[in-house]
Structure formats: C-alpha cells, structure tokens
Amino acid sequence: MKVEKFNDPLARRSHQLHFETLRLDTPFQPRLAELSQTNDWYSWAGYKAPHSLYDEELEYFAIRSTAAVFDISPMTKYRIAGSDAEAFLNRLMIRDVRKLGVGRVHYTAWCDDHGHVLDDGTLFHLGPSEYRLCCQERHLPWLLDSADGFSVEIREETTDIAGLALQGPTSYAVLRNAGFAGVEQLKPFQIAHFPLQGGTVTISRTGFTGDLGYELFVPRALALDLWDRLFTAGAAHGIRAIGYSALNRARIEAGFIVANADFITSETALRGNRLRTPDEIGLEWMVDMEKPNFNGRHAIQIARTKGKLRHVLVGLEIEGNVPPELSLVYHRKKKEAGIVTAAIWSPLAKRNIAIASLERPYGSRISDDLWVEIYALRELQYQKMMKRAKIVPRPFIALPRRTATPPALF
C-alpha cells in the first residue's frame, strides 16, 4: 500500500478518512481553550464548541448580571448579493423582505413547497442589494437551485466570518469602553459598522438571550484582535466567556426556539408526522400573506382555511422544581397530548418553565387539566411524578433593558 505524505495541513485534512477527521477550530478556539476548565466540548456544525467552560450556573448568571461572550462562528452564514437579491429572498422567506431596510435585521423562516419549515434564522440587510443570512442548517444546494432565473450571487462565508454574541446588562458598557463610539444609538435589530485594526466589525443589536445584547462579526483574521479588545475593555464590567448550556437556559427564559430541538426541519425529518408549518411552531405572526408568492404560501393557506394544522407550540409552567425536559404531556393524566422540547428551573422567573409541542386540539381548544410525567432520579432510583402544567405566554421573562435606547451602563 502506498503511503502519501502531506506537509500542508489542509492537504492532510482533505485525505483523512471521515472517522479520523477532527472537529474544526473556530477562530476563537485559542482563547476558549485557555479558559476551559471543564473540557466539556460538543460538535456544532463540525466545529468544536463548549457546553461549558468553568461552571454552567455561573456562566448563566454572567448573562443576567454582567456581560457574557458566546462564540457564534459555527453558525452557517451566506452572503447573498446582486440586483435581484431582494426579489430572490422575498420569494423564499415567509416575511416580506421589501420591508427590511438597509442596516436592519429581522428574524425569519423559510419553507419548502409543502409549507413545512426548512429552517429559521436572521437576515441582515448589509447594504444596497447585499444580505447575510444566518441559520442553523446548511442550505447552499437548495439556495443555488432556487436562484435559477434571478441575477444573484450566493456564497457561503461560514469559515470566512467570525462571530461573537455579547449579551447581558453591561454589554453596552463593554462596547463603549472598547471604543465603538456611537454604538449606544443602535436600536434593537439595527446594524452599524465600526473600524477595527484596519478592517471592519459589523455590530448588530441582536441576540438569543432576551437580554440587552449585541452580535459582532469580523473577518477571520481579525477575530483574536476583537476578542482581546472586548476582554480588555470588559475587565471592569464582569465580562466572561460562556458555553451553550448557559445560553440555552437564557433562550428558554426568552421563549426562543431552536431548530432540530423544538421542531424538526423538513430536510432532516425522517417521518412525515414530524414536519411542521410556521403556524405549528409559533411563527404564524411572521407569515405575510399580502406579499407576492413565496415558497409554501399555498400550502400554508390551505392548512389554515381547511383546519389541517395538527400541532401547536406552547409555553408551560409546571408545578415543582424538577425540569421535565423531553417528558410526555398528558390530558387528565391519561390521554397523551404532546412532548416537552425544552425545560429549566428559571433562576430569574423563579418558576419551572418549559416549551412543549402539543397535538391539537390540546393547546388550542383544550388547554386545561394538562399534566407532565417526570421521572426524577433519587439516589439511584427513579421516582415517577405527575405534575400539573398550565399554558402561559412566551417569553417567560421580559426585561425592559433589552429594548431601552440608549441602553444604561449598569
């Protein structure tokens, strides 16, 4: 057998067998590795990402009490540009892209032809005829196929662009101390560009925590410069790096959903009854039926008018203090009604809260006498508990500082 030697690391990687291939490093991995005390990593879209770095609870309280930094570089990112960029995106998205002004961001979703959600994400309008689409799953073949007939250029820039989420009450103070003058003028879902080491950092007032917060995007080569600048400026403001476990707690409190956790995307679903329309995962408010035709419009309209909506996503408050994640929901303790997709004991709300997918009519016409089946491990023995649940609005918490403009320094 001939053995080939490669001095170039990229060449070596391309010739590795799939089970020998290591998870990729994000541009911020050197800093994360230095801070990691738990060595608790997971794979996010092929990248090495931290579940936690030192202590999950303390990381959560960094979000709610000071400033927390989370590496969002593995998030899939597409640059979509060209004279038909707006028309192309408006054909795909369930929201009206024509209403998204330059320098603005909106949360959106897109469907297949049957009205089932392919994914959700954020759409950044960076400049005239230029957008960035950020999402959980990879969709490049689908985007390219959908672009037939449009004058548009689509390029994945996941590896080229590094991203950080800076979230928490002192996040604005950190940015001000870092020298990003004018960032206080950013309103929620607004974008601005700032100089950084001869390049540019794009800052948006967005996030996944329901708190005051920002997301920062830079070319890969400037990633560590950005990190060091933030942590130097934030030393007096309690800045801490965090992992996904802490972020997940905050997003549940905020009532936000995660693809392939709270709903299964249509490209990854193996069973037909796992598919969901926007109305079945709480995104009905996004669907703009007044705009020109878009993917799935006809199917969504039929589902609405002919009563074909089979599921509903709800917020639950459950008695007790044991989070019922992935527990079954019952009506009158007998009839299975759905499943809890995410749950925590909320330190901020002081409640046991959950997001659940229910089968209609539960959660719509029938909303009383709901119970959750919980198996709690008590000294090597599981104890079955039936706890009463009631449907409550999302978000579970609402923090005025999230939208205050200009934000306070705290």
Query: Residues forming the annotated binding site for substrate?
Result: 215
330 vs 388: CA distance, rounded Å = 10
DSSP E strands, 12-102: 40-44, 47-52, 67-71, 76-81
287 vs 297: CA distance, rounded Å = 9
239 vs 63: CA distance, rounded Å = 9
> Which three-class secondary structure state does DSSP give residue 2?
coil
Quote the crossing angle between the two packed helices 56-65 and 244-253, to the nearest 10°. 50
> Which three-class secondary structure state does DSSP give residue 290?
coil
The H-or-E segment that residue 363 falls in is: none
Torsional sign, CA 252, 253, 255, 256: negative
Binding residue positions? 215
Structure tokens given for 299: 């199917």
Q: Long-range contacts: 18-27, Cβ < 8 Å, 24+?
A: 22/48, 23/47, 23/48, 24/48, 26/71, 26/73, 26/74, 26/162, 26/223, 27/73, 27/162, 27/220, 27/223, 27/224
